[in-house]
Structures are given as structure tokens and as C-alpha cells.
């Protein structure tokens, strides 16, 4: 995206320090109430872990460490994995028209990579949602849809507290990054090591290069954001309703992510199920995948008949056979 295309920066009237949930609600408010243009804003928060919509908090977050170190924990509405953020790490939010997910993601990630390249940084889009510098990750991103709008948000790792990043997030055994700061440092990079700009100067550069104009939220807008924020602060949303299940299948599917499927069986028939993980959701998982599984026998052919053929239209890049094999423990 060139600067002469209309993208509007959304500013707040004060520099008040706010919870991460406020900014998630702000994205949603802008998406629901501001039409016709692309919108963008940046934000920073006190130490916080943010986990994906479909993740189990007990699998992803070291709650004891977070409590001991005063690190907040919140859930977002987008898929993807767990992220640590603090005041040295900048978060980007991008609101655009609803469209093809791959194209929206590609447009945003390439836009940010090209902006970094203007600073002489060899930044490239990589994988399903990352921006890399010299083979190491500097930005991870996620998305979700609202009616007629798409929201993409992500990290820009200018700097961070590595000890908190490692201590607060509990990777699964299948993930590469697992043991200590040195291991993490092999896979991520800090933007400050590649540019001469201070954090504040970098934010100014981003705004000037990506946005053609700006608006400031009114007090009425702020109140609207705070009303939406209440959902993000509710215990039901943060911790979820996780009934007990008697069968658990978990694994990593290439190109999709980590998945954990919990099922309640009676006489070999699936009565309830829940599908957690860091995957990206494209469709209605409840109607298109979970509902068809209820009443199916946990056997390969029965599961295969119950599921739609185009599972990749519900969960990004998910092949039906891979999912059937995971459910059946193959």
C-alpha cells in the first residue's frame, strides 16, 4: 500500500496508559462504526500475555510466573498463538474491508515489510503470518472477521523483556522454541538492533509512511470502546467454559498449527467436543465442523463421512484427512 492510498491513523485524545483489552475493543469499535477506509493505529501496554481465541490458557500460559511478575493475561478474538507484550514492544492494528483472508493477510504483511525496507532493513513476509529479518522473526500477526470488515493485528518487536517472554509463555512440546532465552534469541530478532531510530521516532516514521491522514476518537467514541471492552474483561471470555472430556487428541499439523481436540464419548459416539489451538479460523467451526461430529462414531470412516470435504474453508490450510487422522489417533 502506498501512502497516497487512503489509510487513516486513529489517535486517542490523551496518552493515558490503558489495558490491552481497551485496544482490542478499539479495533472492534472502529471496524463497526467507521466505514469506507482502511484504519491503522499503534499501541503499547504494561507486561501482558495475550492468547488466541481457540487456545486453552492452562496449555499456553505460565500463570504462576505471570502472577509473581505482575503480568496481565487476556484473550483476543483472533486465532493464532500466544504473545507477550510490554512497553518496549509496539502493537499494530489494521482495519480494512472484508475480503479473501490470504489476500488481506498478504496485503498487510507486505505493507509492513516494505515500510521496514525503507529503513534499510531486509524484512520479508514469511510463513502464514510472520515478518522476518535475516531469517529471524520480528513480527507475528493474526486476524479475524466482523461483518464486512477484517481486523489484522500483530507485534513489532522493537525491544522486549526476554526473561518475561520466556517465563510467561509455555510452549507445547512440538514447538521449536522451548528452552531459555538463548533458544528464543535464535528464532526472533529485535528491531532496535537493525535501525538507528528510537522507539518514538520509529512510531513517527510508521505513521508518516503508512497513513495519509489521522482522526482522533471523541469522548463518545471512548465510551463506546469501553462498553465493548467489558466482554474482553469477563471471566467467561478470558477463561472459557471448558467442560471435562474423556478423550484428548493433540498434535501439530503442518501449515495449520497446534491442535488439541477434547471429546466426550459415550459408547464410542461423540457427545461433545471442543477444538483448541493456534490455528486461524475462516468459517463457522461450530456449525461446519463441531456440529457434524456430534453423534458420529470415533472411527475413521464415520468421522470422514461426517466432516465436510473442504475443511480448509473453515480452518486455514486444514486438510480433511490430516484432521481425521488426528481425531482417530493415527
Lowest mean pLDDT among 37-51, 93-107, 190-204, 298-312: 93-107
Query: Do residues 1 and 111 make contact, with C-beta atoms less than 8 angstroms apart?
Result: yes
Distance separating alpha carbons of residues 166 and 65, to the nearest angstrom: 10
**Which pLDDT score, from 0 to 100, does residue 35 have?**
79
Residue 217 Ramachandran class (φ > 0 left, ψ -120 to 50 alpha, else beta): beta
**Integer CA distances (angstroms), 168 to 48, 82, 140, 155, in order:** 9, 10, 17, 16
> At 73, is the secondary structure helix, strand, or coil?
strand
Query: Do residues 108 and 68 make contact, with C-beta atoms less than 8 angstroms apart?
Result: no
pLDDT mean over 4-27: 91
Count of residues making up the chain: 330
Can you read off the three cell numbers belonging to residue 189?
530478532
pLDDT tens, position by position, 157-187:
999 998 899 889 865 434 434 456 666 767 8
Say whether pLDDT at 111 is over 90: yes
> At 91, is the secondary structure helix, strand, or coil?
strand
**Which pLDDT score, from 0 to 100, does residue 178 have?**
45
Lowest mean pLDDT among 74-88, 203-217, 232-246: 232-246
Distance separating alpha carbons of residues 121 and 109, to the nearest angstrom: 15
Greater model confidence, 3 or 18: 18
DSSP string, 271-291: EEEEEEES--B-S-HIIIIIH
**Which pLDDT score, from 0 to 100, does residue 2 have?**
43
pLDDT mean over 99-120: 88
pTM above 0.75, yes or no: yes
Say whether pLDDT at 143 is over 80: yes
Alpha helical stretches, state H, 10-141: 20-33, 57-60, 63-68, 101-117
Domains for the chain: give ranges and CATH numbers: 7-239 (3.30.930.10), 247-327 (3.30.390.50)
Percent of the chain with pLDDT over 90: 67
**Integer CA distances (angstroms), 52 to 57, 120, 142, 257, in order:** 9, 32, 9, 12
pLDDT tens, position by position, 56-71:
887 788 888 899 999 9
Categorize the per-residue pLDDT at 246 as very low, low, confident or very high, splitting at 50, 70 and 90. Answer: confident
Say whether pLDDT at 322 is over 60: yes
Query: Do residues 150 and 98 make contact, with C-beta atoms less than 8 angstroms apart?
Result: yes
**Which pLDDT score, from 0 to 100, does residue 207 have?**
97
**Which pLDDT score, from 0 to 100, does residue 41 have?**
98
Categorize the per-residue pLDDT at 242 as very low, low, confident or very high, splitting at 50, 70 and 90. Answer: low
> For residue 272, which of 250, 251, 241, 300 has the smallest C-alpha distance?
241
Say whether pLDDT at 194 is over 90: yes
Q: Which residue has the cell 464486512?
A: 148
Dihedral of CA 106/107/111/114: which sign? positive
Greater model confidence, 103 or 207: 207
101-117 vs 199-210: helix axis angle to the nearest 10?
120
Dihedral of CA 164/198/11/118: which sign? negative
Greater model confidence, 327 or 147: 327
> For residue 152, which of 179, 176, 131 has the smallest C-alpha distance?
131
Amino acid at each position: 500500500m502506498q501512502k497516497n492510498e487512503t489509510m487513516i491513523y486513529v489517535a486517542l485524545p490523551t496518552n493515558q496508559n490503558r489495558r490491552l483489552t481497551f485496544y482490542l475493543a478499539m479495533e472492534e469499535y472502529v471496524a463497526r462504526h467507521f466505514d469506507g477506509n482502511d484504519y491503522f493505529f499503534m499501541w503499547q501496554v504494561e507486561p501482558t500475555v495475550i492468547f488466541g481465541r481457540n487456545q486453552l490458557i492452562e496449555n499456553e500460559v505460565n500463570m504462576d510466573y505471570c502472577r509473581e511478575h505482575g503480568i496481565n493475561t487476556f484473550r483476543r478474538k483472533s486465532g493464532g498463538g500466544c504473545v507477550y507484550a510490554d512497553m518496549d514492544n509496539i502493537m499494530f492494528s489494521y482495519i480494512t474491508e472484508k475480503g479473501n483472508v490470504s489476500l488481506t493477510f498478504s496485503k498487510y504483511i507486505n505493507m509492513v515489510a516494505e515500510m521496514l525496507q525503507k529503513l534499510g532493513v531486509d524484512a520479508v513476509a514469511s510463513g502464514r503470518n510472520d515478518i522476518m529479518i535475516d531469517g529471524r522473526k520480528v513480527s507475528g500477526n493474526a486476524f479475524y472477521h466482523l461483518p464486512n470488515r477484517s481486523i489484522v493485528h500483530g507485534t513489532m518487536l522493537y525491544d522486549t523483556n526476554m526473561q518475561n517472554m520466556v517465563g510467561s509463555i509455555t510452549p507445547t512440546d512440538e514447538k521449536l522454541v522451548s528452552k531459555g532465552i538463548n533458544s528464543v534469541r535464535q528464532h526472533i530478532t529485535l528491531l532496535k538492533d537493525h535501525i538507528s531510530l528510537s522507539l518514538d521516532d520509529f512510531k513517527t516514521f510508521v505513521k508518516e509512511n503508512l497513513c495519509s491522514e489521522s482522526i482522533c476518537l471523541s469522548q463518545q467514541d471512548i465510551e463506546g470502546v469501553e462498553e465493548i471492552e467489558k466482554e474482553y474483561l469477563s471471566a467467561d471470555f478470558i477463561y472459557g467454559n471448558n467442560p471435562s472430556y474423556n478423550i484428548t487428541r493433540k498434535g501439530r499439523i503442518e501449515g495449520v498449527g497446534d491442535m488439541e481436540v477434547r471429546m466426550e464419548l459415550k459408547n464410542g459416539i461423540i457427545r461433545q467436543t471442543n477444538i483448541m489451538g493456534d490455528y486461524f479460523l475462516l468459517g463457522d467451526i461450530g456449525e461446519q465442523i463441531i456440529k457434524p461430529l456430534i453423534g458420529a462414531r470415533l472411527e475413521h470412516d464415520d468421522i470422514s463421512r461426517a466432516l465436510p470435504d473442504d475443511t480448509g474453508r473453515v480452518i486455514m490450510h486444514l486438510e480433511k484427512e490430516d484432521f481425521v487422522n488426528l481425531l482417530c489417533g493415527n
